[in-house]
Structure 1
């Protein structure tokens, strides 16, 4: 996609409504967080090549709020990610989720995981880091306190959480949900979490499933070993018997007990590290 086409696409891009087609059928366990006491909306965040759509939520009352970047799964910023933003806002945060695949395509309308993976595989890490930087800059103009900045992400976004914590020294802490830890170095994805673990300065909490077939426990242990050689004081929790996406209440993979425990651990972790 050339720069002109990118600008044209970004200028007209919008967020998904409801759940991504590929995520259906939706589980009866789905959590729906209301907007009572909140301000919510969509934003168009300025970037170098156009306006990046995002969903945000914050408390109605208050002058300044800690910022939480919420990084999407491969399904994009659909209803589940938007609901997570509202959950954070209920806790007193300005939570914002930018649509990080928007230049490569609209994954919300695709019906198969294979189609989505073709889109996601084209997203450069450098582009994502720059878009998250732009998102922080925008949030800081919307009652967000960039001195109290956290990041969390799920699946694809879990990997990005580790990488952005290494990229931006302003990040105070993060929580990575079942993000891939190892991989081949390519032009678009030159480094993976295990490659930045030893140099990481930011304390990140990793939340992983013991029965995640896509993230072998051997790679989790490899990440733990690398973290021990650094100074970030990061930690990884593995939930025995939990599959991938155990927090995704709209999917069959949801494990209520593990999800609730991990959500509480995240809150405690963020508070311990000043966010």
Structure 2
């Protein structure tokens, strides 16, 4: 593991404000981290899906022409709001081209949903997994056309995106590594979600690091243990790390669920996982 000095420089905002955060994610905790864009190019991405263009957010180093190692950042339930954009900037500070596609874009604007129940009912439940996989493939192509080194490519995702990270690792075998933060692992099959990560554990060819909280009320320890057993039976190189005192969303620094020590450890483990499996940061 690396030491704590390698964690991105951050500013804890007194009161934090709410600009750029989804309505349903508010109020914003004072622990919210802001990473500046100094020495970066960052902003809007327009991604060709073969139909409607998909918006997204990207960040990369300002100097040089690349190619840069790639991290596709898969949004949490609230979409590509300020927290996800900040994570892209943190990765870009390490030398990555990071891009977060807005995977709900056909179904509504998650930033304007007034509460979590409305967000889940009206937007999240309407998004088919196959559509997400296709849109992540489109993001992969966009990245390759915009300076990313697809031979040094990884994915990470949070909450809703943590589950999608497991699924995409089974779908795109060209990835070098994946890190899934507290993504759901099992559940009933539906038309939009025909398979869960537990169902595809034996199909994984891309090493996945799963980061979970021992006190996550939405992902019980029994579910995590089932996934560990399935990964061991499959004999792949994937691993799961459990932080015993963390709940769901322990990396979400703008929410009360945030646990700084566990989040920082998870971030460093993520970077080391990428480096170990062939997607190191620039200069690492």
Runs ≥4 residues deviating over 4 A: none
Q: How does 1:228-243 map to 2 (within 5 A)?
A: 228-243=232-247
Equivalent position to 1:31, from 30, 33, 38: 33
Q: Write the deviation string for residues 185-235 of structure 1: whole angstroms up to 9, x where unpaired.
A: 111111110001012111100000000000000000000000012243100
TM-score normalised by the chain length of structure 2: 0.90
Are positions 1:113 and 2:116 aligned together? yes
1:46 equivalent in structure 2: 48
Structure 1 residue 48: deviation in Å? 2.3
Instruction: Give the count of matched residue pairs.
Output: 259
Contact 1:29 1:250 in 2 (8 A): yes
Which consecutive unaligned segments of at least 5 residues does structure 2 have? 1-18, 280-284
Q: How does 1:1-275 map to 2 (within 5 A)?
A: 18-62=20-64, 63-118=66-121, 119-275=123-279
Q: Write the deviation string for residues 25-78 of structure 1: whole angstroms up to 9, x where unpaired.
A: 101111100011100010111112210000000001232101100001110000
Distance in 1 separating the partners of 2:232 and 2:125: 30
Local SS of the residue matching 2:126: coil
Q: Please tell me the root mean square deviation across aligned C-alpha atoms, in Å.
A: 0.8
TM-score normalised by the chain length of structure 1: 0.93
Q: Write the deviation string for residues 129-183 of structure 1: whole angstroms up to 9, x where unpaired.
A: 0000000100111110111110000000000000000001111101000000001
Distance in 2 separating the partners of 1:59 and 1:43: 15
Contact 1:158 1:176 in 2 (8 A): yes
Which consecutive unaligned segments of at least 5 residues does structure 1 have? 1-16
Distance in 1 separating the partners of 2:35 and 2:236: 33
2:12 equivalent in structure 1: none
Contact 1:200 1:231 in 2 (8 A): no
